[in-house]
Structure 1
Amino acid sequence: MENFKTRRSVIQFEDVSFEYPGAETESIHHIDLDVKEGEFLVLTGGSGCGKTTLTRLINGLAEQFYEGTLKGRVTLLGRSISEYPLYEIGKKVGSIFQDPRSQFFASITEDEIAFGCENYGVPYEELDGRVSNAIKRINGDMLRGKEIYPMSSGEKQKIAVASVNAVDPEIYVFDEPSANLDMYSVEALKNLMRELKEEGHTIIVAEHRLYYLTGLADRFLYMENGSIKAEWTPEELLSMPEAKRKDIGIRAADLRHIEVDIPSRKEKDVTLEVKGLAFSYRKHPVFHDISFQAYAGDLIAIIGHNGIGKTTLSNILCGMQKEKAGQILYSGKDVSKGRRKNFAYFVMQNTDCQLFGDSVEEELLLNGKGSTQEQRDDLLKMYGLFEWKERHPAILSGGQKQRLTLAVSDWIDTPILILDEPTSGLDYKNMVRISEHLKALAQKGKTILIITHDYEFAAMTCNRVLHFIDEGHAETFPLQGSLPRLYSCLMCQ
């Protein structure tokens, strides 16, 4: 690891604590941290450990947007962060959030990428060059001229990265940047981060997935309960014994060394059959002639590159969209669009669309009428949400919202459960928790389809794969004995 001690400090935390309005405890406390010019720093740890709060203190949002209480001193480029107006911080610190929709201002790709540059007065003659270069860096030529709203989450993440890159800040802050990306796009993100590092930019990444960062990071900081508990070099992280890694609760640093036991399952009753399915969006074909079968007890990983139609397939299966052609049969019977919700329930990637209660417990009450207090408490404990039962869903973290929507799906209890990126924003321990629960549901005969780009999760959870090769072809294969094939499919998307 390069020695950064002689370089100038660009970010400093001196005995820093921070508390959000209305919170009962501090999110972080007594943090001391010195980030040097050109350093690549990774923050990791379980959900709620404080890593996102650290990033919000660096980009000014913690104080000026969330209006929390800061103790201690945060210094940005030699000046107290509290002295900067927010717009000035934005020019020096580019932020890419986990949910990119929260930072969009325009509806078309080029307009969004140009937006920040225009606000900071970039000369018009430079603008086209900056936009084109930013699109090239994300391998996003296919996104030119397109509306952002209908894009997949991964495509939106690419636009967010490009819009920040066009402004060219000195410091980049990424919050879970890989959460919604396929592995091919993660590789592209990795290459972009490498270029930024080589150009001398300082980079801070808050992340659960670590495998793509071991060749880039100078330091990994492990956080727990609002404090920095450990610091590792990439070499120390890669050499960490598996038992220790799992006990600490962090994701694998090397996906090639994952050890899982995939049980063989006999094909029993066909619960779902899809025949020659086709769908178009505004006369643009999404997919055509997609056919497959799913059996009781199946855990099927649905994979394919961003935008190929995996979420659209799920919307059709649960009756939220109408196919252009083809048949969908549940237990051998052709089921109309309006009746499919009785057979299949879809847990969306955008969890905010499915949360309506004023508290976590009320969310269960809305969907589990007739349940007892004990049943609700047991379910919340199983999903690690019991201590949050009286909190409003809006203030939960992304991972906590994901677990709440999964808890709701338990009440609804359709024979087929469809999940869209269920590990987005989840730490290792909660990923294992969800995996074990889904396997238990499958043992009881539920059919579970999981849209995922997460190799680690798919390997430990699923028994079969549905691979969208292109818009006209999909293949299925058993996962037992085929982990290298799964890895190859995910990496080649």
Structure 2
Amino acid sequence: MIELQNLSFCYPNQRALLENIDLSVTSGEVVVLCGASGSGKSTLLKILNGLIPELYEGTLEGTGTILENEFLSMDFVSYVKDIGVVFQNPKTQFFTTDVYSELAFSLENYSVPRQQIIERMQELVEALGLEKLLNSSMFALSGGQKQLIAFASACMLEHKLFLLDEPSSNLDDQTIEQLKHSISHLKQQGCTIIIAEHRLHYLTELADRYLIMADGKIIRDYSKETMLQQTADELSTLGLRALTPTDIQVNNEQPNLSNELGLQLHCKDLHFHYRGKKSGVAIPELTLNSQQIIGITGSNGAGKSTLFNLLSGITKPKSGTIWFNHQKMTARQLIRESFMVMQDVNLQLFFETVEKEITAKAADLSLFDTTVELLNLRHLLHRHPQTLSGGEKQRVAIATALLSGKKIIFFDEPTSGLDLKHMDEVSQTIRSLHNQHVLLLIITHDKEFLEKTCQRVLTLEHGQLTNDYFI
């Protein structure tokens, strides 16, 4: 299936991102690429899917074959018909404005008869449980729902090779189980699947091999059996997350908190729904206090990001009021007090270097060196933000938030695309920021991160609060 020798790549005037890689993958294998953010996983996938060198300039070297095509002499147009790809940022692979058209697009592009398209779509929608999303606008989907649609779109054509870059990013537990079932279905059909992933726990039953990368090289090639024998300390040394799901322990003793201490965000009778939809966010009353780091969980599409938009002033509620420190707030006032680290960090990266990005609106540059060292950004300061990996972009956005001087900071999936080391650093950074009189609210599906970071957890389902507990 894939046989490559001495594979190397570097962008113009930069150090090598991949160096002397030998890669062998047989038909039907499920191979997991893992390792630290920036270790070369996404770059390797871009070479395997043909985007390097088709769209990205740089020096690419190596010999071998991919899908019986001679490496470096493949015809891109004919080659890509045989591979299904899910990018780290699913929005970059969408071509239409609604789910139905998006799923049909690839088959229409290859002139598949209409009836076959309908039959294939019905089969896939049923297999992935997408019935409720089929008639949705792409703009109305949550980040996790977009991830699922990107995976479904990649599966519409019956490919031989699937390349998945962080497919579980932003997915809730239920949707991860759907994804796991879908990957298992592809494996049973004999497809070859290569997955770059940090969240490893859902893949232990599916993976045949684990390739561990560091500094642009494959440093370990483990079978499933060998990988499962690694201790927690050995996995941590390799920068890898746990192979088993995190079980959060609920603290039944509610802490005694004084409403007079810390910053307080309070909302009452908060209602909002998008045009044409009856359901939305409906919060009778909620008080959030800076004495705790607060995590918000719930299914994809439950309304978590919408709630953040309301509390930060980005979206105006249909009805209801919001107070900050007992002062009734307008949307404009909330915006002045808030900073949002968005789920799609590409939407908030504007400058030509990382250094300019994190200092442009910094309130206190005395924290610059501490923040840069804590988030391991020193070697990236002169890079263009859009050339970074997904995890590196996330760290840049968090650095911008830390230097902003705002009193309310919202984090929407801050560990999306982060390895163990940088997840721990983000957790440590947020806990350090908590000591600086800041109200911190975090949307996350990452239970490993949630357990390390938060003291209070709210669960949102169908726009309503269904649980409020302490850990």
TM-score, scaled to structure 2: 0.94
Within 5 Å, give how 1:135-150 maps onto structure 2: 135-150=125-140
Contact persistence 2:85–2:163 (CA under 8 A): yes
The residue type paired with residue 7 of structure 2 is: V
- Name the count of aligned residue pairs: 467
Distance 1:67 1:364, change over 3 A: closer
Distance 1:343 1:271 in 2: 12
Which stretch shifts more, 303-312 or 350-359? 350-359
Distance 1:315 1:266 in 2: 29
Distance 2:218 2:33 in 1: 9
Deviations 1:2-36 (A, max 9, x none): xxxxxxxx11111211122x242111111111110
Deviations 1:228-262 (A, max 9, x none): 11122233323322222212211110124789999
Partner of 1:201: 191
Distance 2:73 2:92 in 1: 25
Distance 1:303 1:69 in 2: 43
Deviations 1:303-362 (A, max 9, x none): 111112111111111111101122211112211111012332211111122222221111
The structural deviation recorded for 1:68 is 2.5
Distance 2:253 2:59 in 1: 51
Within 5 Å, give how 1:22-61 maps onto structure 2: 22-61=12-51
Is 1:307 matched up with 2:297? Answer: no
Distance 2:252 2:385 in 1: 35
The residue type paired with residue 294 of structure 1 is: L
Which stretch shifts more, 418-427 or 329-338? 329-338
**Structure 2 gap segments, 5+ residues each:** none
Is 1:342 matched up with 2:336? Answer: yes
The structural deviation recorded for 1:452 is 0.5
Partner of 2:115: 125
- Give 3-state SS (helix, strand or coil) of 1:149's partner: helix
Partner of 1:332: 326
Distance 1:258 1:58 in 2: 38
Distance 2:13 2:305 in 1: 36
- Give 3-state SS (helix, strand or coil) of 2:418's partner: coil
Pairing partner for 1:166 from 156, 178, 196: 156
Within 5 Å, give how 1:309-388 maps onto structure 2: 309-368=303-362, 371=365, 375-388=367-380
Partner of 2:59: 69
Within 5 Å, give how 1:82-481 maps onto structure 2: 82-256=72-246, 266-268=256-258, 269=261, 271-284=264-277, 285-368=279-362, 371=365, 375-479=367-471
Partner of 1:14: 5
Please give the root-mean-square deviation of Cα atoms over the aligned residues, in Å. 2.1
Distance 1:234 1:263, change over 3 A: farther
The structural deviation recorded for 1:370 is 6.6
The structural deviation recorded for 1:116 is 0.6
Deviations 1:41-67 (A, max 9, x none): 000000111111211111111111113
Distance 1:258 1:317, change over 3 A: closer
The residue type paired with residue 86 of structure 2 is: I
Which stretch shifts more, 264-273 or 55-64? 264-273
The residue type paired with residue 441 of structure 1 is: L
Contact persistence 1:49–1:226 (CA under 8 A): yes
Distance 1:339 1:369, change over 3 A: closer
Distance 1:124 1:283 in 2: 29
TM-score, scaled to structure 1: 0.90
Which stretch shifts more, 462-471 or 204-213? 462-471
Deviations 1:124-169 (A, max 9, x none): 2211011122222221100112111221111111111111111111
Distance 1:236 1:264 in 2: 43
Which stretch shifts more, 101-110 or 79-88? 79-88
The structural deviation recorded for 1:97 is 0.6
The runs of at least 4 aligned residues of structure 1 exceeding 6 Å deviation read 257-264
Distance 2:406 2:210 in 1: 42
Distance 1:208 1:47 in 2: 9
Distance 2:101 2:411 in 1: 32
Distance 2:406 2:392 in 1: 22
Distance 1:409 1:347, change over 3 A: same
Distance 2:165 2:33 in 1: 9
**Structure 1 gap segments, 5+ residues each:** 1-9, 480-493
Deviations 1:65-102 (A, max 9, x none): 11322211141122213332222122111111111111
Distance 1:57 1:264 in 2: 52
Contact persistence 2:251–2:469 (CA under 8 A): no
Contact persistence 1:261–1:460 (CA under 8 A): no
Contact persistence 1:252–1:258 (CA under 8 A): no
Distance 1:265 1:362, change over 3 A: farther
Distance 1:193 1:249 in 2: 25
Deviations 1:271-310 (A, max 9, x none): 1112221101004131213532211231111011111211
Distance 2:256 2:169 in 1: 33
The residue type paired with residue 333 of structure 1 is: Q
The residue type paired with residue 419 of structure 2 is: D
